[in-house]
Amino acid sequence: MNIGFVVNGLTTEVAGYTTTHLAMAATNRGHEAWYVNVEDFSYDPDENVRAWVHLAAPKKYRSPRRYLDAVRGEHAIRKRVSMHELDILFLRNDPSEDVRDRPWARLAGINFGRFAMRHGVLVLNDPDGLARAVNKLYLHVFPEEVRPKTLITRMLTDIKQFAKEYGTVVLKPLYGSGGRSVFLCRPEDRPNMNQMIETVSRDGYVIVQQYLPKAVEGDTRLFLLNGKPFIERGHYAVLRRIRSGGDMRSNMSAGATSAKATINDDMLQIAAAVEAQLMTDGMFFVGLDIVGDKLMEINVFSPGGLESAEHFEGVNFSQALIKDLERKVAARGSAVQPMSNLKLATF
């Protein structure tokens, strides 16, 4: 297979990223793993979508760091290809990373992915589903019982009234990732609340979320594959994210650490509650961030941490995911009737 991995920028990729592990697993299984920067697409006069791609020389790689060096190094293969040469285009770029400095790049993966899809390429996650999930409002299409109480607004008075009602709240931007511009506002922090709101609202709407006391223990990231908990060899793809010191964020980019997680009924009930919508939207690979019995965030663009789950569970989840892609491509090739991208995404 030829698999394209769309990223915000190859220069900012890291050996520990899930994308690196997936691309290396694909290469080690004899596939071509093409890295595609969002800025390197083009729609040509012949109505084909093409892109400049980077890939490592074909061989077995043991180290993600060496693999990524091979993709970026002087011996890397760089060529301009048509997207219809791909079997799968995996959209792993995070639109929120480009909100401030490169707003033109936010939807590039989705938009060019739609054109690739028309040429018979399997695009994951489904680009039309991703378009509906391009900000944190997507969380609110899921059942109310799995979500914390939330207000989304730019009105200062409404934010203060919500905080008065619920006590301690979390403030964060509607567009954002990695824990940037996220504040914990306790009753004793009210004198600084205006400044917090001003900082968050620079990026647009403000999410004001009920604070869950169990968040002090961090959160649990549970991976879903084809709408269901990702299980391989009897092990769930899951990890705990533990906050650093007094920081209330559980994001790894904010200094959080990871640890082995234990699956419980609350987590499985949340996964069951969101399955139908994820299937409807063609969400192949998803990360759920869970605190207690509530779903705090849902990552459908570039869920990370799979490599940590591999470490704690002793299972090569990356290879299992690539095997599932092989199964999808085989199913499409043997289908009596054409299978839509939406259906195949979670098949």
Name the least confident of 191-205, 249-263, 313-327: 249-263
In the chain, at which residue ranges do the beta strands (DSSP E only) sit?
2-7, 32-37, 41-43, 49-55, 77-82, 88-91, 122-124, 150-153, 169-173, 183-185, 206-210, 219-225, 228-229, 231-232, 235-236, 238-242, 257-259, 285-291, 294-299
Rg (CA), the chain: 20
Q: Does 242 have pLDDT greater than 50? A: yes
Average pLDDT, the chain: 93
pLDDT of residue 243: 74
Domain with CATH 3.30.470.20 in the chain: 136-143+214-315
At 173-195, the pLDDT tens digits run 988 666 678 999 999 998 999 99
CATH superfamily label, 149-210:
ATP-grasp fold, A domain (3.30.1490.20)
Domain with CATH 3.30.1490.20 in the chain: 149-210
pLDDT of residue 247: 52
Name the least confident of 131-135, 244-248, 319-323: 244-248
Local confidence band at 325 (pLDDT 50, 70, 90 cut-offs):
very high
Averaged pLDDT, 140-145? 94
**Which ranges in 133-209 belong to alpha helices (H)?**
156-166, 193-201
Q: Does 339 have pLDDT greater than 80? A: yes
pLDDT of residue 180: 77
Within 10 Å of residue 103's Cβ, how many Cβ atoms?
Answer: 10
pLDDT of residue 249: 45
Within 10 Å of residue 136's Cβ, how many Cβ atoms?
Answer: 21
Q: What DSSP string runs through 195-226?
A: HHHHHHHTTS-EEEEEPPGGGGG-EEEEEEET
Q: What DSSP string runs through 242-263?
A: E--TT-----GGGT-EEE----
Within 10 Å of residue 337's Cβ, how many Cβ atoms?
Answer: 4
| Residue of 301, 310, 329 lying closest to 129 (CA atoms) | 301
Averaged pLDDT, 140-159? 95
pLDDT of residue 255: 58
Residue 160 burial (C-beta neighbours within 10 Å; 0-12, 13-18, 19+) = middle
At 258-307, the pLDDT tens digits run 999 999 999 999 999 999 999 999 999 999 999 999 999 999 999 999 99
- The CATH number fitting domain 136-143+214-315, selected from 3.30.470.20, 3.40.50.150, 1.20.1260.10, 3.40.50.880: 3.30.470.20
Q: Cis peptide leading into 125, omega within 30 of 0? A: yes
| Helix 193-201 × helix 156-166 angle, to 10° | 120
CATH (residue range 2-124): 3.40.50.20
Name the least confident of 38-42, 97-101, 194-198, 266-270: 97-101
Q: What percent of the chain has pLDDT over 90?
A: 86
Helix (H, G, I), strand (E, B) or coil at 174: coil
pLDDT of residue 126: 98
| Residue of 96, 330, 323 lying closest to 226 (CA atoms) | 323
Cα separation, 70 vs 58, whole angstroms: 10
Domain with CATH 3.40.50.20 in the chain: 2-124
| Residue of 86, 54, 52 lying closest to 70 (CA atoms) | 54
Helices (H) and strands (E) in the chain, counts: 10, 19
Q: What is the 8-class DSSP label of residue 339?
A: P
Cα separation, 18 vs 41, whole angstroms: 22
